[in-house]
Amino acid sequence: MISDSFVIGVDYGTDSVRSVIVNAGTGEEVAASVFYYPRWKEGKYCDPGKNQFRQHPLDYVEGLEQTIKNCLQQAGEQVAAKIRAISVDTTGSTPVAVDKNGTPLALLPEFSENPNAMFVLWKDHTSVKEAAEINAHAKNFDTNYLQFVGGIYSSEWFWAKLLHTFRADEKVRNACQSWVEHCDWIPFLLTGGQDVNQVKRGVCSAGHKSLWSEEYNGFPPDEFFASLDPLLKGFTAKLPSDTYTAAEAAGTISKEWAERLGIPADVVIGIGAFDAHMGAVGGQIEPYYLSKVMGTSTCDMLVAPSDEVKGTLVNGICGQVNGSIIPGMIGMEAGQSAFGDAYAWFKNILLWPVKNMLGQTTVVDSETASKLIADIEKRIMPELDRRAGELEPEEHGELAIEWLNGRRTPDANQMLKGAFLGLDLGTDAIKMYRSLVEATCFGAKKIVDRFNEQGVPVKGLIGLGGVAKKSPFIMQMMADVMNMPIRIHKSEQTCAIGAAMFAATAAGLYPKVEDAMNAMGQGFDKEYFPDPSRTEIYAKRYERYSEAGALVENIFVEH
């Protein structure tokens, strides 16, 4: 019986990995465990000043083992014996250079401390130059090879990162036998893969970030890449032309990993996908409803029946791919490069004197100072939300542009910077924070407007992720700015739950992922409705935001 079967969903985020054990029949979460990447926490291999963000594969492997073992310990031996499948989601595009065995180079002694041999995190923007070259180069071809990724290639994606790495590090380039996304490597690891040619690539990662398309029967031709830079000549031959949906199985767990984790030898390992894509399923996405996974950044997912939107291309988004979210539907992705990250930045600005001066004070002892710092850090965001929520919007108040990590969509441009405008001596931290939140909501509206303008109507909003659950202030402003309701999903772990739904489908417990979604979904627990008294003011401020954004973009665009 399905209700007597259990599946594991593994969600790799930017700072940590979370695993959950879920009852495949009811969707009940039986156990959960989180592992914070120790090397990442120390800031190793990263240089924010250069927009370099790398993660060591050991953080991923250790987190995988520890969280699953912790979950199994919580659930007990009877549940462990009934585990049927595991599926994973990851951030993306987060690729890595591997050898002929499919081993990330950083796991080899000679590359163990080399950031270029590690996973290049989604937020790494060291390849801005390479992305610009790809965009310019694509104009030289009769076929528009960027048409299914919104017409603009991003520095956050597969090929730009590969070319930058090859140019920056000859040793890595010579040792690299292939370039593999994080979401494709973990299933390869769990199934005991030993040959890089046997890595099964998901259509999610390949279609949205790697220029793979059914229209080309795979990737663009070698000529496209070789004429961009000879370093890429012949590289597409190292990539398989076949891709798979996340509803399919990558294989069964290897003997080593089954014994290592203490689960049955016939556990199915599903094809991997990106976190927002599986999160949209965990959040019970509906056709034409924009599912907004709101964390450090946002990923906005929309699905539409392929026969209804066939031939419709939305410019400036992060791709539209058949089957990338739900098989049989076109999956469309957009998003913002900084969302929660923008709030965290502002929080850190305010905490600078607290962290850097209170720790040196002689007025209180060091233990008391540490407790004060921890208490202020814990309380500052809820207090900012509360105080900012008490302010009424003013047509000519402070204005912000949220491009603190560049702009993802619409129209990717990682060279852009954030800004505050209209400040005066009456401006305080509360007003600045409110304007920053408003800017993130305005940026979200730009995405909705782009879909609507280009023939894909957005009929509603679904809020997922940490910010959606934790901040009623931000969600109410989102509803007011968008002038449409936003439903908040009950689950706090929609990505991990979505991975569990795909695991159940890959194991054959459900014939379609929609069936798993309906059976295992937890529903919604809150809905925010627009306040008519505010929507008119926000509409006027949105026009000012658009004008200010154009001004800021003109300042930072490269001529």
Summarised one tens digit per residue, pLDDT across range 153-211 is 999 999 999 999 999 999 999 999 999 999 999 999 999 999 999 999 999 999 999 99
Better-scored residue on pLDDT, 362 or 558: 362
pLDDT at position 558: 57
pTM to 2 decimal places:
0.89
Pairing of strands 29-36, 16-23: antiparallel
Better-scored residue on pLDDT, 252 or 557: 252
The structure tokens listed for 58 are 């050991």
**How far is the C-alpha of 435 from the C-alpha of 285, rounded, in Å?**
30
* pLDDT band (50, 70, 90) for residue 421: very high
Q: 460 by DSSP, 3-state: which? A: strand
CATH code for the domain defined by 340-489+529-556: 3.30.420.40
* pLDDT band (50, 70, 90) for residue 13: very high
Kindly tell me the sign of the dihedral angle through the C-alpha atoms of 36, 200, 329, 120. Answer: positive
- Is residue 67 within 8 Å of 16, Cβ to Cβ? no
Strands of 306-413, DSSP E: 320-322, 329-336, 399-401
pLDDT at position 559: 44
**How far is the C-alpha of 89 from the C-alpha of 251, rounded, in Å?**
16
294 membership: H or E segment, kind and range: strand 289-294
Find the mean pLDDT for residues 302-314.
92
**How far is the C-alpha of 123 from the C-alpha of 340, rounded, in Å?**
13
Percent of the chain beyond pLDDT 70?
Answer: 100
Summarised one tens digit per residue, pLDDT across range 208-258 is 999 999 999 899 999 999 999 999 999 999 999 899 999 999 999 999 999
The structure tokens listed for 438 are 């408003």
**How far is the C-alpha of 528 from the C-alpha of 461, rounded, in Å?**
10
Per-residue exposure over 118-140, b if at least 16 CB sit within 10 Å of its own CB, e if not: bbbbbbbbbbbebbbbbbebbee
Summarised one tens digit per residue, pLDDT across range 478-488 is 999 999 999 99
Pairing of strands 268-270, 249-252: antiparallel
**CATH superfamily entry for domain 2-283+491-525:** ATPase, nucleotide binding domain (3.30.420.40)
Domain with CATH 3.30.420.40 in the chain: 2-283+491-525, 340-489+529-556
Summarised one tens digit per residue, pLDDT across range 15-32 is 999 999 999 999 999 999
Summarised one tens digit per residue, pLDDT across range 497-524 is 999 999 999 999 999 999 999 999 999 9
**How far is the C-alpha of 8 from the C-alpha of 502, rounded, in Å?**
10
Instruction: Say which amino acid occupies 146.
Output: L
**How far is the C-alpha of 161 from the C-alpha of 534, rounded, in Å?**
43
41 membership: H or E segment, kind and range: helix 38-41
* pLDDT band (50, 70, 90) for residue 358: confident
- Is residue 198 within 8 Å of 185, Cβ to Cβ? no
